[in-house]
Amino acid sequence: MMSGTCCEALQAGAATTAPLGNRRYVEQKRIGWEMAVRIEKIVATVLDEAHKRQVEKVMDTLREGPEGLYKRPPY
């Protein structure tokens, strides 16, 4: 039979793996932040490209004069 309670066994096991668990947590947190930064860069690039295209369409419409405003929908 085992001596002690199951809670004591869990606490003893947790005490020996806590530093490793903490390192894993810190590493996962770092990886998560790196992924978030990459995703943010991608979103910023996509939004910037969409904005450039939108500005280009508006400028083309304005170059056509007032007739261009009534020929097609602005979007």
For 2-26, write each residue's pLDDT tens digit: 455 555 555 555 555 557 778 899 9
Q: Residue 69 in contact with residue 61, Cβ under 8 Å?
A: yes
Whether pTM exceeds 0.75: no
| Residue extents of the structural domains in the chain | 6-71
Q: What is the DSSP letter of 61?
A: H
Calpha distance 56→50 (Å, rounded)? 10
Task: Indicate the average pLDDT of the chain.
Answer: 79
Closest CA to 58 of 48, 72, 45, 39: 72
